Amino acid sequence: MSISKIKLPTQPGPSSSMDSAAEDPKITLERIKAGSAREQGALEVAKESLRVVTSFLDVMKSNQQLQAKRVEWESRVAEAQKNVDKAEVELKREAQVTAQHRVNADRYLEALRPLVDAFDDIMKEMSDPAIDAESRKEYRKELLNFGQLIVQLKA
């Protein structure tokens, strides 16, 4: 190992330690204040950097939550759309069935209309005061049988 020799200055120069000892205390105090201010500024910059990073991480977290909610709602909307499509198909099928039932009911009503009209006409004739009680009794019996037949045809 080599030991390097330290050269000591023989005359006081600008970098000698005597200068610092002989320095004015005001200058030393100003240097200390300047160094402290510089360190304080660096500390404030570091704090602000931490706040920026924290804010950025909060934004990233919020973005992830937003994306999760978006995916959740997209799946809900897709499920709802499937249900709507299914309901539309069922509605169309029911509309066709209902239309067919309506056509059948209209045909049935057309077929029964003359019978119902005949029933109504006989009821009007029975209210005529010229018909005796015995005939009314027989007509009512016949109308009751006739009415039951109409009801059985409907069922």
Per-residue pLDDT of the chain (155 residues; tens, 9 = 90+): 455 566 555 554 444 444 555 578 889 999 999 999 999 999 999 999 999 999 999 999 999 999 999 999 999 999 999 999 999 999 999 999 999 999 988 888 888 888 788 878 877 877 777 888 888 888 888 888 887 887 787 66
Task: Quote the pLDDT of residue 43.
Answer: 94
For residue 126, how far is the Cα from the chain centroid? 68
Whether residue 131 contacts residue 139, with contact meaning beta carbons closer than 8 Å, is answered with yes
Angle between helices 25-126 and 133-154 (to 10 degrees): 140
Task: Quote the pLDDT of residue 16.
Answer: 46
pTM of the full structure:
0.44
Please give the DSSP secondary-structure letter assigned to residue 130.
Answer: T
Task: Quote the pLDDT of residue 8.
Answer: 52
In angstroms, the CA 106 to CA 25 distance is: 117
**Among 128, 119, 122, 121, which Cα is nearest to 150's?**
119
Task: Quote the pLDDT of residue 19.
Answer: 52
Task: Quote the pLDDT of residue 155.
Answer: 60
Task: Quote the pLDDT of residue 126.
Answer: 77
